[in-house]
Amino acid sequence: MQPYVALGVGLQRAGHAVRLATHPRFCGEVRERGLEPAPIAEGALSHGQATSAGRAWVRWGDRVLPHWVGMLKDASSVAEQRLVNGWNASADADVIVVSVLATLLGRQLAVAQQVPLVRAYYAPPGRMARPAMRQAVWLCSRPWINRARRAALGLPGLGLREPFRALDEERVPLLYGYSPVVAPPGDDSRADWVDVTGYWLLDVPGDWTPDPALAAFLDAGDPPVLVSFGAMADRHPERSTALLLEALSRAECRAILIRGPHLAPDTALPTGVIAVDSVPYDWLFPRLAAAVHHGGAGTTAYALRAGVPSVVVPAIADQPFWAERVHALGVGPQPIPRRELSAARLAEAIRLATTDAAIRQRAVALAGRVAAEDGVRVAVDRFEHHLSGRTGRADGERIATRARPECPACGTRGVPRHRGLRDRLYAAPGSWAMAQCPQPACRMLWLDPVPTEQDLAKAYRTYYTHAGEPPPRARPFLGLLASVRRAYLRGARPATGLIRVLPGGRDAMDDTAGHLPAPRPGARLLEVGFGSGDQLVRMRELGWDVTGVDVDPVVVDAARRRGLDAHAGELSALRLPEGQFDAVYLSHVIEHVHEPIDLLRECRRVLRPGGTLVVITPNADSHGHRRFGAAWFGLDPPRHLVVFSPDGLSAAARQAGFADASVRSSARIAFITWIAGEDIRRGGRVVSFDGAVPLGRLARGVTAQVAEAARLAIRPDAGEELLLRATKPPPGASPDATSDRSEEMPWDSVSPSLV
Three-state helix/strand/coil letters over 505-557:
HHHHHHHHCCCCCCCCCCCEEEEECCCCCHHHHHHHHCCCEEEEEECCHHHHH
pLDDT at 746: 30
Distances, alpha carbon 706 to alpha carbons 619, 671, 674, 710, in Å: 18, 9, 12, 6
Pick the range with the lowest mean pLDDT from 68-82, 361-375, 412-426.
68-82
pLDDT at 750: 37
Prior bond to 261 cis, omega within 30?
no
470, 480 Cβ separation under 8 angstroms: no
Q: What is the CATH T-level fold of the domain 2-42+78-196, as seen in this structure?
A: Rossmann fold (3.40.50)
Q: What is the rounded CA–CA span in Å between residue 508 and residue 478?
A: 13
SS3 420: strand
Q: What is the rounded CA–CA span in Å between residue 7 and residue 199?
A: 10
pLDDT at 48: 56
pLDDT at 140: 87
Distances, alpha carbon 687 to alpha carbons 470, 634, 675, 677, 680, in Å: 13, 16, 9, 10, 8
597, 605 Cβ separation under 8 angstroms: no
pLDDT at 392: 43
DSSP one-letter string for 146-195: HHHHHHHH-PPPP-SS-TTHHHHHTT--EEE-S-TTTS---GGGGSTTEE
669-689 per-position pLDDT tens digit: 898 898 888 888 766 778 777
- Average pLDDT on 696-709 reads 82
Pick the range with the lowest mean pLDDT from 338-347, 458-467, 485-494.
485-494
DSSP one-letter string for 242-302: HHHHHHHHHHT--EEEEPSTTS-TTPPPPTTEEEES---HHHHGGG-SEEEE---HHHHHH
Q: What is the rounded CA–CA span in Å between residue 422 and residue 625?
A: 16
- Asked if the domains at 2-42+78-196 and 212-372 fall in one CATH topology, the answer is yes
Please enumerate in sequence order all residues whose Cβ is within 8 A of that of 651, keeping only pairs 6 or more positions apart, or say none. Answer: 409, 410, 441, 442
In percent, the amount of the chain with pLDDT more than 70 equals 82
389, 95 Cβ separation under 8 angstroms: no
- Out of 116-125, 254-263, 274-283, 589-598, the most confident range is 589-598
pLDDT of 129 over the 80 cut:
no
SS3 427: coil
Q: Which residues of 174-196 are buried (b: 16+ CB within 10 A; e: fewer)?
A: bbbbbbeebbeeeeeeeeebbbb
pLDDT category at 625 given cuts 50, 70, 90 is: very high
pLDDT at 645: 97
Three-state helix/strand/coil letters over 184-216:
CCCHHHHCCCEEECCCCCCCCCCCCCCCHHHHH
12, 34 Cβ separation under 8 angstroms: yes
pLDDT of 11 over the 80 cut:
yes
Please name which of 611, 97, 615, 591 lies closest in space to residue 379, comparing C-alpha atoms: 97
458-483 per-position pLDDT tens digit: 888 767 654 445 445 444 554 555 55
Please name which of 72, 6, 67, 129 lies closest in space to residue 320, comparing C-alpha atoms: 67
> Residue 628 — φ and ψ, nearest 5°?
-100, -15
- Average pLDDT on 299-319 reads 92
Q: What is the CATH T-level fold of the domain 212-372, as seen in this structure?
A: Rossmann fold (3.40.50)
Please name which of 750, 678, 715 lies closest in space to residue 508, comparing C-alpha atoms: 750
| Cβ count within 10 A of residue 232 | 18
pLDDT at 424: 84
Which stretch of DSSP H or E encloses residue 98? Answer: strand 96-98
DSSP state, residue 35: P
- Tell me the pLDDT of the chain averaged across its residues: 84
pLDDT at 444: 97
Alpha-carbon Rg for the chain, nearest whole angstrom, is 33
Q: Which residue has the higher pLDDT, 316 or 291?
A: 291
Distances, alpha carbon 225 to alpha carbons 252, 279, 354, 355, in Å: 10, 14, 8, 12
pLDDT category at 206 given cuts 50, 70, 90 is: confident
pLDDT at 339: 86
501-515 per-position pLDDT tens digit: 566 677 877 888 899
Any idea of the CA torsion for 414, 416, 417, 421, to the nearest 10 degrees?
120
- Average pLDDT on 568-574 reads 93
Please enumerate in sequence order all residues whose Cβ is within 8 A of that of 16, keeping only pairs 6 or more positions apart, or say none. Answer: none
Q: Which residue has the higher pLDDT, 661 or 77?
A: 661
> Residue 37 — φ and ψ, nearest 5°?
-85, 155
- Out of 16-25, 70-79, 416-425, 730-739, the most confident range is 16-25
In percent, the amount of the chain with pLDDT more than 90 equals 50
- Average pLDDT on 338-357 reads 94
pLDDT at 755: 24
- Average pLDDT on 592-617 reads 97
Q: What is the rounded CA–CA span in Å between residue 363 and residue 118?
A: 33
- Average pLDDT on 299-306 reads 94
313, 294 Cβ separation under 8 angstroms: yes
Q: What is the rounded CA–CA span in Å between residue 732 and residue 194?
A: 73
Pick the range with the lowest mean pLDDT from 205-214, 481-490, 731-740.
481-490
pLDDT at 163: 85
137-188 per-position pLDDT tens digit: 889 889 999 998 888 877 778 888 888 888 888 888 999 999 999 988 766 6
> Residue 93 — φ and ψ, nearest 5°?
-80, 150
DSSP state, residue 730: P
pLDDT category at 62 given cuts 50, 70, 90 is: very low
247, 343 Cβ separation under 8 angstroms: yes
648, 444 Cβ separation under 8 angstroms: yes
Q: What is the CATH T-level fold of the domain 464-747, as seen in this structure?
A: Rossmann fold (3.40.50)
pLDDT category at 617 given cuts 50, 70, 90 is: very high
Q: Letter for the amino acid at 403?
A: A
pLDDT category at 232 given cuts 50, 70, 90 is: low
Spans of all domains in the chain = 2-42+78-196, 212-372, 464-747
pLDDT category at 322 given cuts 50, 70, 90 is: very high
pLDDT of 699 over the 90 cut:
no
pLDDT category at 701 given cuts 50, 70, 90 is: confident
pLDDT at 187: 64
> Hey, CA dihedral for 382, 384, 388, 392, is it positive or negative?
positive
394-431 per-position pLDDT tens digit: 344 678 899 999 999 999 999 989 877 888 888 787 77
Q: How far apart are the first and last CA of the chain?
A: 72
Q: What is the rounded CA–CA span in Å between residue 494 and residue 488?
A: 10
> Hey, CA dihedral for 628, 633, 634, 636, is it positive or negative?
positive
pLDDT at 616: 97
Neighbouring-strand partners of residue 545:
524
pLDDT of 248 over the 80 cut:
yes
pLDDT category at 50 given cuts 50, 70, 90 is: low
pLDDT at 65: 47
